[in-house]
Every structure is written in structure tokens, then in C-alpha cells.
Amino acid sequence: MRHANVLRIGISRCLLGDPVRFDGGHKRDRLLIDALGQTVEWVPVCPEVEAGLGTPREPMQLVDNRRAPRLVTVETGVDHTEALRRFARQRVVELTALHLCGFVFKSASPSCGLRGVPLFDAQGTDRRDGIGLFAQVFMEHFPLIPVEEEHRLHDPHILKMFLERAADFDNSHHRA
């Protein structure tokens, strides 16, 4: 049961400080977590760990093209595209029942980044126009839920706008 004034927002799990990154580390965003304090109930998701890739694991990158990117390991070229997509399609259905009103994604991640993720074409050139596979499936499934990357929320104006949009979404979709 959720407190009346608390927004339930999904987040890339490494941003909360959980050691789920490929190297066993995390990317705790203290500024963001401290700023939101009691106003948010976080729902953590790590697509790569939840899809069964384990920690630590070989780092991955997006390759090919923006319309049909593939997620492959950097050194050995193992293709995890289908495993990640299958997981993502199942996870967004589960998340529907939690009535999220926003999601904070980890920038530059081939699974979680929202925009400008490194994406290497056939010539090995980084196009920097990729979208993380999980983030893409999430936005297709929840086209109206406000989403942001963590570093943009360090700007107080963008943070305020994000929280207002999340509260509006919550009021109109979950509390009507």
C-alpha cells in the first residue's frame, strides 16, 4: 500500500547503490536519492542482472543501427539481444501492476540509456545515437509515463518538472 503523497518511480538499480554493474560496482547517485528523500518510493530494476547475465559480467555495447540495434559483449561478441528483449517484454507487464508514475534511467547504458548511447556501426564508428534495449521496450509499453536520465535530474528545474509530470500522471491514471 502506497502513502498518499508518495510517488512510485522506477529506477535503474545501480543508481541506488546496489552492486549490479558489469564490474561488480554501482553508480549510486547520492544527489538524486537525497533530493527525493521521502517523496519517492523507488522500484529498482536491473535488466542485465534480472535477465540472468550475472555480476560480474563482460561489458556490452550496442552495434548495427538505431532501428534494430543488437546488444553484444565487447570482447567476445556474444549476442544477448533476444535474451534482453524477452526479459524486457515480460518485466514491463509485471511493472504495469505496480502503477509507476515515472522512471529514472542510467545514462549511456546499452540496456538503460534513454538517448545518445554509444552505438557502433559496421565500420566500428560510434554513432552515439543509441537507446538502451530495456529503456526502448519500456517507452514503447508506457508511452505516457515520464522518463529521465539521472544526470539531467541534477538540474533543479528539470527535477521539478519531472516530479510535476509524475504527480500529474499519478493523479490522472492511478488516483482518478
Residue of minimal Cβ distance to ligand SF4: 14
Nearer to ligand SF4, 54 or 77 (CB): 54
Site for ligand SF4 in 32-91 (CB under 6 A): 46-49
Is residue 145 at the binding interface for ligand SF4, with CB under 6 A as the rule? no
Choice from 112, 114, 163, 166 touching ligand SF4 (CB under 6 A): 112
Least spacing, CB of residue 144 vs ligand SF4, in Å: 22
Residue showing cell 547475465: 53
Is residue 139 at the binding interface for ligand SF4, with CB under 6 A as the rule? no
Choice from 62, 104, 106, 145 touching ligand SF4 (CB under 6 A): 106
Is residue 107 at the binding interface for ligand SF4, with CB under 6 A as the rule? no
Choice from 109, 119, 120, 137 touching ligand SF4 (CB under 6 A): 109
The secondary structure of the chain, three-state, reads: CCCCCCEEEEEEHHHHCCCCCCCCCCCCCHHHHHHHHHHEEEEEECHHHHCCCCCCCCCEEEECCCCCCEEEECCCCCECHHHHHHHHHHHHHHHHCCCCCCEEECCCCCCCCCCCECEECCCCCECCCECCHHHHHHHHHCCCCCEEEHHHHHCHHHHHHHHHHHHHHHHHHCCC
Q: Which stretch binds ligand SF4 (CB under 6 A): 70-78, 104-112, 115-123, 157-165?
A: 104-112
Is residue 12 at the binding interface for ligand SF4, with CB under 6 A as the rule? yes
Question: What distance in Å separates the CA atoms of residue 36 and residue 22, rounded to the nearest whole number?
Answer: 27
Q: Which residues lie near ligand SF4 (CB under 6 A)?
A: 12-14, 20-21, 46-49, 106, 109, 111-112
